Amino acid sequence: MSFRPLFALLLAVIASSTYAAEARPNILLIVADDLGYNDVGFQGARDIPTPHLDRLADSGLRCTDGYVSYPVCSPSRAGFLTGRYQQRFGYEYNPKWDATAATHGLPLSETTIADSLRAAGYSTGAIGKWHLGAHPHFHPNRRGFDDYFGFLGGGHRYLPGSVAEVEIGAGKKATTTADTEQTSPIQRNSTAVPEVGELTTRLGEEAAASVTRHARDAQPWFLYLAFNAPHTPLQARADMLAKFAAITDERRRTYAAMVATVDEAVGRIVTALESTGQRDRTLIFFLSDNGGPMTKRNANASVNSPLRGQKGDVFEGGLRVPFLISWPARLPAGRTYTQPVISLDLLPTALAAAGATRDATLAPLDGVDLLPFLTGQVASAPHARLFWRMDGGEAFAVREGNWKWLRTYQNAPQLYDLSTDLGESRDLAATRPEIAARLAAASAEWNRGLIAPAFGNNPFGGLINRTGLEKNAAP
């Protein structure tokens, strides 16, 4: 018996397997923190040049109507890392900064994007802000990430040894040298490492090093890079501040320097991809975790125009964010995509790109695979409706096509046509009552699939104990 046919078959199988592995893209998810909608060049900013992010936008698609699932940091992250509306598992507030708080974090019952991609053969890493629970069982290394470098809290000072100044609204500042969250250890996996250099710069360097380190790996990789910039405290490198000396407002000048430092870091990472021959086969997502906080606590001099509202609002300024998707080998370049998409779509899109299937016994995803829509294979909208709920039912919003219905706290429901009123200034609830009623009913039906918040955390310190918090309130 000749072994040549068998040997040829074996070579074919090996070649096919190798091709399949190579065809699977690396996946890079980059998240900015509290970035204003109009604070990067590709969104129209004139006072903050962002050439590297603009180049990234040119290499892929800018999603003009890109949303997050919650207008506050931690719940937003819980949503896009699980692909599920976070209210389905009671995640509606920022967790308490307390390593003994065993329920203040991403529930262990939830599966993360890192869990799913690692199961599909990817190496997984996370760099930067975590903010999904300080208790040891919430640690990134225990939530699907092989490697971690960053800090576990919701914020951190940028300059070693500095005083953390946090905006508390209307330009007022709180100054402290004893904020344990702002000065919490930088960790490599579970080991504390020294603070060295400006933080955003260091996170970018770590990400570029990770990209280079994995360039020759046989397996593809997933990297979640979560900057805490431009979240307060407003701190930046001296050389970056000097670049924006023409901005007379001190807060805006520092904010601009922080955004430019994020842009510089993104450029460093893309350069690492290009120099190692990985750029074409790397799927990159870039977005902010929520809108910019312009006047509220932790205000950072951001600008969300032409949108109404800011971080913490269900108006567009709290929910609609800069949103890019780039994959040179598969997706068109230099395009805009105008149908509404949401951060919940990142996980199913990444799994589809990886050729990975999700365990059928897990809870269903709320996001969808965007690839057929972005390539033009499917012309319809990815979502019939998008939904939001805040503070256990104190505020709701729903978008259907160009219609946006919302109810905020004790105010009457409002209705806007975003195609003609992006700034949500002309309430049409009284003149189009049939649409308002339909969307209110849809929101109520969606709400029946949610649960009450599993924990609460007052942003000014301490636990919330408000009447109605425990109720799954209807819109």
| Residues acting as catalytic residues | 73, 131
CA atoms of 300 and 16, how far apart (whole Å): 51
Extended strands (E) in 130-183: 147-151, 164-169, 172-176
Q: What letter would DSSP give residue 157? A: -
Length of the chain, please? 475
Pairing of strands 172-176, 123-129: unpaired
| Contact between 258 and 229 (Cβ < 8 Å) | yes
Long-range contacts of 369-376 (CB under 8 A, 24+ apart): 369/345, 370/325, 370/341, 370/345, 371/330, 371/331, 373/337, 373/339, 374/61, 374/325, 374/331, 374/332, 374/337, 375/330, 375/331, 375/332, 376/332
Which is it for the CA torsion 360, 69, 106, 144, positive or negative? Answer: positive
CA atoms of 61 and 375, how far apart (whole Å): 10
| Contact between 254 and 235 (Cβ < 8 Å) | yes
| Contact between 225 and 28 (Cβ < 8 Å) | yes
Q: Is the peptide bond before 140 cis (omega within 30 degrees of 0)?
A: no
For every residue of 192-250, DSSP letters joined together read EE---S-HHHHHHHHHHHHHHHTTT-SS-EEEEEE--TTSSS----HHHHHHTTT--SH
Angle at 244 between CA 64 and CA 270, to 5 degrees: 50
CA atoms of 310 and 302, how far apart (whole Å): 9
Q: Position 466: which residue type?
A: R
Q: Position 84: which residue type?
A: R
